[in-house]
Amino acid sequence: MSTKFKAKALDVIRDRIIYLEYKPGAPLNEKEIASELGISRTPVREAMIQLKIDGLVEIIPRSGTYVKKVDLLELKNCYVVRSNLEGLVAELAAVHILPQDISRLEDIVEKGMKIIADDSITDHEIRLSVVQLDSLFHEILYASCFNDALIEVLKMIGYRCRRGWYSYINIIPETITAIDGINNILDAIKRSDRALARTRMMEHVNGFIEQLQKKIN
């Protein structure tokens, strides 16, 4: 039961950090979170320890637990690692992906294109939707590469990368073009071209951090 409650607390707190409901530097009150979720403080405390491992919170003795601030150098380093590992994911998926997962990826690309073409929603709303679709695209590919060790490492890095994406989403207009990127990756995977899938994935992942550096420098 404790494991179940820890998983619940972990999912809720992690999502709130990634999607900036809990702002960088904000204190996290274990007692208040536990009360809100209707659980004891123990699973919340255990969740905080995992979030520290994930690089999303910092625990300061005799002070408390705080949402870790986004460090640009750390974010860049995470993207260097992620781009190489995601390239391997795409390469493996090009060999092992199942037909039903190809269909799911096609649906994601189609939804993304429709959202981008919808004049009734704001650019900010489009970017938020694109980030969510992009994340789902990657999650399906993770399962399609059939390598649990690779997935485990990528998920931990992915939490920090996704929060970085949300933190700077409004100054990176190229975020909208991410749908083109995943469509190109899908094309290579459907052709079972391992080398091309890897190359396109790495270009796609590196695109965000390259554009961010241009905006900040």
Helix orientation angle between 99-117 and 178-190, rounded to the nearest 10 degrees:
160
* d(C-alpha 30, C-alpha 142), whole Å: 32
* d(C-alpha 95, C-alpha 189), whole Å: 8
Chain-centroid distance, C-alpha 111:
19
Give the pLDDT mean for 109-113: 95
Q: Are 57 and 78 members of one domain? A: no
* SS3 assignment, position 9: helix
The answer to whether the CB of 182 falls within 8 A of the CB of 108 is yes
Spell out the residues 6+ positions from residue 33 whose beta carbon is closer than 8 angstroms to its own: 9, 12, 13, 44
**Number of independent structural domains in the chain:** 2
Q: Model confidence over 16-57: pLDDT tens digits? A: 999 899 999 999 999 999 999 999 999 999 999 999 999 999
Q: Are 181 and 105 members of one domain? A: yes
Q: Model confidence over 124-180: pLDDT tens digits? A: 788 888 888 998 999 999 999 999 999 988 988 989 998 988 888 777 766 678 899
The CATH number for 63's domain is 1.10.10.10
Domain boundary among 22, 46, 67: 67
Cα separations (Å) of 72 from 85, 175, 185, 211, 217?
Answer: 20, 18, 27, 13, 11
Q: Are 16 and 34 members of one domain? A: yes
Q: What is the pLDDT of residue 175?
A: 67
Q: Are 63 and 88 members of one domain? A: no
pLDDT, greater one: 120 or 171: 120
Q: How confident is the model at residue 201 (pLDDT cuts 50, 70, 90)?
A: very high
* Residue reference for tokens 């199942």: 98
* d(C-alpha 91, C-alpha 147), whole Å: 12
Q: What is the pLDDT of residue 106?
A: 98
Q: Are 11 and 97 members of one domain? A: no
Q: What is the pLDDT of residue 173?
A: 64
* SS3 assignment, position 52: helix
Q: What is the pLDDT of residue 217?
A: 64
Residue positions counted in the chain:
217
Give 66's strand partners. Answer: 27, 58
Q: Model confidence over 64-77: pLDDT tens digits? A: 999 999 998 999 99
Q: Are 25 and 79 members of one domain? A: no
Q: Are 57 and 107 members of one domain? A: no
The CATH number for 211's domain is 1.20.120.530
Q: Are 85 and 36 members of one domain? A: no
Domain boundary among 67, 85, 111: 67
* d(C-alpha 202, C-alpha 193), whole Å: 14
* d(C-alpha 47, C-alpha 50), whole Å: 5
Closest CA to 22 of 216, 208, 166: 166
Structural domain that includes position 12: 2-67
Q: What is the pLDDT of residue 48?
A: 96
Q: Are 54 and 89 members of one domain? A: no
- % pLDDT > 90, the chain: 70
* d(C-alpha 16, C-alpha 106), whole Å: 29
Q: What is the pLDDT of residue 171?
A: 78
Q: What is the pLDDT of residue 4?
A: 84
Q: How confident is the model at residue 216 (pLDDT cuts 50, 70, 90)?
A: confident
pTM of the model: 0.85
* Single-letter amino acid, residue 203: E
Spell out the residues 6+ positions from residue 199 whose beta carbon is closer than 8 angstroms to its own: 87, 188
Q: Are 53 and 78 members of one domain? A: no
Q: Are 85 and 12 members of one domain? A: no
